[in-house]
Chains A and B, each alone.
Chain A
Amino acid sequence: MSILYSIFPNLDRLGGELLVSLRQTLQMLFVSGTIAFFLGLFFGVLLIVTRKGGILQNLVLYTALDKAIDVIRSIPFIILMVLLIPVSRAIVGTGSGVTGSYVALIAGTVPFFSRQIESVLADLDYGLIEASEAMGFGPAEIIFGVYLRESIPGITRVTMITFVSLIGITAMAGAIGAGGLGDFAIRYGYQMRYTDMSWITVIIILIIISIIQFIGNLIVKKTTH
């Protein structure tokens, strides 16, 4: 412990606050990550099945979704966050704090993740879909039993990539008072010039990413045959 305090001299004093920030970051990651994961899967699947030649082809829906994703993706996150404050107030009752960050974090993640899911599912050999149709399976069984089930390694891979980008934007969420490690690094690392506090947030984030990647790689390894 004393070694830790000699490397990070401000830790002794700011450790408690660092833990609070860490908890805020984890909370943002967990809540918005989970919701964004399912929404992204949903929209990614929707893109695949409604596109031309898809099992539920619907070009109007496809085009609308496709354009919406492009538009949202082209808005820089920091601006998106401000734009969504009223939406967040309407949905979760507040536009600030950790709770107020969820809407923006989800909106900033879902379009990117949907696209990634779309490309993973598009890589699946269409012959498998046809074979399943020939066996008498309907859309729901094909989506869950073939598209998603056969793509677990690919889905895991893009989930890890998206997770890293989600960590990036949670750091920005500090700007609307959500706190978290990004906010902590700005306040102490940048404004107070406690370089050791910048470093310690970097190390913590690296640890989080490593854990996620370790789990992800394990899943990929177990499900790739």
Chain B
Amino acid sequence: MIRLEQVCKTFHTAAGEVQAVRNVSLEIRDGEVFGIIGFSGAGKSTLVRCINLLERPTSGKVYVGEEELTALNEKHLREVRRKIGMIFQHFNLLRSRTVAQNIDFPLKKSGLSRQERDAKIQSLLELVGLTEKRDAYPSQLSGGQKQRVAIARALANDPKVLLCDEATSALDPQTTQSILRLLKQVNETLGITIVLITHEMAVVKDICDRVAIMEEGAVVESGDTVDVFSHPKETITRDFIETASNIRKIHELIEEKNELTRLKPGEQMVLLTYSGPNAGEPLISYLSHAFGIQANIIYGNIDFLKGKPIGKLVVTLSGDAGQLKKARDYIDSLGVEVEVIQS
């Protein structure tokens, strides 16, 4: 388990103080994939670097397993770090060394024999699917392959934790998916706890069990991924959800008074968000039956969060004002979230 207790990190720069991390407390469970999402500059990298103390917190405590890292001396800290793997946005491979030599690098202090090290390298290469690139140099690899080497290298000392700082941000969407699958596989087959930092919703929603959302150095919302994104509390969380769907586009259309989203008097436009089994179709027809309300679907989308469907419908409702209110209460009672986006 990783536990952060009231971690703060302040940088003193020529331009003044920067509070990169403000009073963050988090618990990351053994064996889970924990996502930390936030826009650029939110303090995610600083926070994740506080976990292995690449950045020493200005105040607060960091525990990894039983050990309080913030209380260790440099020598002891180095030993603990060997059990905390880390991968980066720009891979950070050693250019003068081959793939095998890069993976071998952290094994230097493992005390293993040459044969054991070679066997280890071989099994890691098999795990990341790069056996044929054993003697290639990093400059001869694609971005995705480089990240695979970095993952193999990070796993060399059998860590309990893998920290990923924007590990897919330099990759195209397809490669991103394949790296995420590999990380998920590593998590499931080796039982390694993964902490994943990203600014991309697409990364979080597939593989993270739980997420924390960061804004201006603070964690503003956290919890189970599906809960957080199906019932967002904070504006920023909604912003992230929108980045992954077309809802933002609807807002733009409303803004520019597009014909598609123009309302007649008495009409209302609502966004319905439903997760799990409450389907959209019967609801719409029920509305017209029970409340005499016309519902016109403008936009619909189903997104998957960790395999669970999250439906989004943008609908214009027209009818009697009292009935509209009743209809909204009814929809709400079904566990479907209703947000009036224009009226």
Contact = CB atoms under 8 A, between A and B. Distances in A.
Contact of A136 (B78, B92, B94): B78
Interface stretch (B82-90, B117-125, B286-294, B320-328): B82-90
A136 B52 CA distance: 10
A153 B92 CA distance: 18
A150 B82 contact: no
B264 interface: no
Nearest to B88: A127
A124 to B, nearest CB: 9
A141 B139 contact: no
B82 A135 contact: yes
Nearest to B150: A131
Contacts of B139: 225
A111 to B, nearest CB: 27
B84 A134 contact: yes
A225 B96 contact: yes
B136 to A, nearest CB: 9
Contacts of B105: 132, 135, 145
A54 interface: no
A150 B95 contact: yes
A134 B90 contact: no
Interface residues of A, number: 20
A137 interface: yes
Contact of A146 (B82, B94, B163): B94
Contacts of A141: 108-109
Interface string A123-158: 001011011111111100100011001101000000
B96 A134 contact: no
B95 A225 contact: yes
Nearest to A130: B54
B106 interface: yes
Interface in B55-98: 74-75, 78-82, 84-86, 88, 90, 92, 94-96
Nearest to B107: A135
Contacts of B138: 225
Contact of A130 (B74, B84, B92): B92
Nearest to A153: B96
A145 B81 contact: no
A137 B92 contact: no
Interface string B137-179: 1111000000000000100010000010000000000000000
Interface string A147-179: 001101000000000000000000000000000
Contact of B108 (A127, A128, A145): A145
A195 to B, nearest CB: 48
Contacts of B137: 225
Contacts of B80: 136
Interface centre among A127, A134, A138 (most CB of B within 10 A): A134
A12 to B, nearest CB: 51
A223 interface: yes
Contacts of B86: 131, 134-135
B54 A134 contact: yes
Interface centre among B80, B95, B163 (most CB of A within 10 A): B95
A146 B95 CA distance: 10
Contacts of A125: 90, 92
Contacts of B81: 133-136
B90 A136 contact: no
B92 A127 contact: yes
Contacts of A138: 74-75, 78
A223 B79 CA distance: 31
Interface in B275-330: none
Contacts of A134: 52, 54, 81, 84-86, 163
A128 B78 contact: no
B82 A152 contact: no
A128 B92 contact: yes
Contact of B88 (A131, A145, A149, A150): A131
Contacts of B140: 225
Interface centre among B96, B109, B139, B153 (most CB of A within 10 A): B96
Contacts of B96: 149-150, 152, 223, 225
Contact of B90 (A127, A146, A150, A225): A127
8 contacts: A127-B92, A131-B86, A131-B92, A134-B86, A135-B157, A136-B82, A138-B74, A152-B96
Q: Please name the 5 residue pairs, one residue from A and one from B, whose CB atoms are nearest each other, closest first.
A: A225-B137, A131-B92, A136-B81, A136-B82, A127-B92
Given A135-B82, A138-B74, A138-B75, 18 more contacts: A128-B92, A128-B94, A130-B54, A130-B88, A131-B86, A131-B92, A133-B54, A135-B106, A135-B157, A136-B78, A136-B81, A136-B109, A138-B78, A149-B94, A149-B96, A152-B96, A225-B95, A225-B96
